[in-house]
Amino acid sequence: MKLLITLITALSLGSTSIAATLINGAGATFPYPIYSKWFSEYQKVSSEVQINYQSIGSGGGIKQFSDRTVDFGASDAPMTDEQIEKVKGDVLHVPTVLGAVVLTYNLPTLKKELRLTPGVIADIFLGKITKWNDERIKKANPGLELPTSDIMVVRRSDGSGTTNIFTEYLSKISPDWASKVGKGTAVNFPVGLGGKGNEGVTGLVKQTPGAIGYVELIYALNNKLAFADVENKSGQFIKPSTKSVTAAAAEYFKTTKKSEIPEDLRISLTNSAGKGAYPISAFTFILVNKTLPKGKGESIQKFLEWAVSSGQKFAEDLGYAKLPNELTPRVSKMIKGIQVK
């Protein structure tokens, strides 16, 4: 009997010791591949912490974070001043990695990669350019035999940080886009089929000949889809890559005074004029409350510290750029400043 009691006690204590702290998050599909990798790798470092993440889009992430139905949100679109006011300013934007929004297309007959200028991109998504052999596309691609087929635009159907990045870029380079459509996580696109998440847009482009859509780089790479070189503000056609995203960030810190970098780190990198800079580059953010409860709060804080330090080594293999050295100390300070009560 004593042996049985001892065994039950030991099992009970063992079960308690391995009970995981469950942390729930939701939001952006843009960083989902690296976040999945991080959550898996972090369990090897801290086996008592389990992170559950729903890849539902930045709009959904901001809503669930604001409604306090998750422990953290994730968004490529920084919360607006109005959204921040609704949560009484109780939010930190923690930059995690940088990525590229690419123009991916389904044109299997092309012999080399497509080049797109800012004006052409805007007019394709405005519905003004409707054929792949349009003269303006031909002009940017001399010698490339373009098909005579229709262009099928694919865009996001859900609230999306990827959409926010893309439409912010379009608003900067096209007055017509800025006045007729504007920027945001959800806008009224003049044309196109809607896909849910980066996954949905990727799937539609893959199955639709003549399609073009915008997704995070890793989704195009993983699905072996072609993506365009985009002309930047300096007139260079730039291939999206971790190198060209890093160049966009480097240009920002080169041309921005320290005093002008937003204290809350809601930084925009789109339409960079830097040499070698890809013009549709952006940070992605984890949204977390400034004050967190003990236990779970300490686990979130430790995970974030790991993500912006040791976790960065996983970024490039998944098509993301690491946090710039100029920013890392400020991000670390922000995380250390979280109050756990």
Task: Looking at the structure, tell me whether residues 201 and 107 fall in a common domain.
Answer: yes
Question: Could you tell me if residue 10 is inside a domain?
Answer: no
Task: Looking at the structure, tell me whether residues 136 and 238 fall in a common domain.
Answer: yes
pLDDT tens column, 264-307: 999 999 999 999 999 999 999 999 999 999 989 999 999 999 99
Task: Looking at the structure, tell me whether residues 112 and 241 fall in a common domain.
Answer: yes
pLDDT, average across residues 179-196: 96
Please report the pLDDT score of residue 267 as a whole number: 95
Task: Looking at the structure, tell me whether residues 118 and 213 fall in a common domain.
Answer: yes
Q: Specify the amino acid at residue 110.
A: L
pLDDT, average across residues 167-172: 98
Question: Could you tell me if residue 260 is inside a domain?
Answer: no
Task: Looking at the structure, tell me whether residues 240 and 313 fall in a common domain.
Answer: no
Instruction: Please tell me the total number of residues recorded for the chain in this structure.
Output: 341
Binned at pLDDT 50, 70 and 90, residue 19 comes out as low
Question: Could you tell me if residue 15 is inside a domain?
Answer: no
pLDDT tens column, 24-83: 999 999 999 999 999 999 999 999 999 999 999 999 999 999 999 999 999 999 999 999
CA distance 272 to 237: 12
Report DSSP state, residue 278.
-
Binned at pLDDT 50, 70 and 90, residue 225 comes out as very high
Please report the pLDDT score of residue 84 as a whole number: 97
Task: Looking at the structure, tell me whether residues 325 and 219 fall in a common domain.
Answer: no
Task: Looking at the structure, tell me whether residues 287 and 173 fall in a common domain.
Answer: no
- Say which CATH number the domain at 114 has: 3.40.190.10
Question: Could you tell me if residue 91 is inside a domain?
Answer: yes
Task: Looking at the structure, tell me whether residues 112 and 246 fall in a common domain.
Answer: yes
Task: Looking at the structure, tell me whether residues 292 and 178 fall in a common domain.
Answer: no
Q: Identify the residue whose tokens are 């912006």.
A: 308
- Which residue, 173, 124, 202, 294, is CA-closest to 132? 124
In the chain, the number of structural domains is 2
Least confident of 7-16, 58-67, 152-161, 242-251: 7-16
Task: Looking at the structure, tell me whether residues 291 and 321 fall in a common domain.
Answer: yes
Please report the pLDDT score of residue 18 as a whole number: 53
Task: Looking at the structure, tell me whether residues 193 and 331 fall in a common domain.
Answer: no
C-alpha gyration radius of the chain: 22
Asked if 268 contacts 282 with a C-beta cutoff of 8 angstroms, the reply is: yes
pLDDT tens column, 98-125: 999 999 999 999 989 999 999 999 999 9
Whether pLDDT at 133 is above 70: yes
Domain of residue 107, residue span: 101-250
Question: Could you tell me if residue 184 is inside a domain?
Answer: yes
Which of these three, 250, 268, 295, is where a domain ends?
Answer: 250
Please report the pLDDT score of residue 20 as a whole number: 81
Question: Could you tell me if residue 1 is inside a domain?
Answer: no
Please report the pLDDT score of residue 28 as a whole number: 95
Task: Looking at the structure, tell me whether residues 88 and 119 fall in a common domain.
Answer: no
Least confident of 1-10, 23-32, 88-97, 291-300: 1-10
Question: Could you tell me if residue 264 is inside a domain?
Answer: no
Decide: residue 258, CB within 10 A, 0-12 exposed, 13-18 middle, 19+ buried: exposed
Whether pLDDT at 11 is above 50: no
Question: Could you tell me if residue 259 is inside a domain?
Answer: no
Which of these three, 250, 268, 294, is where a domain ends?
Answer: 250
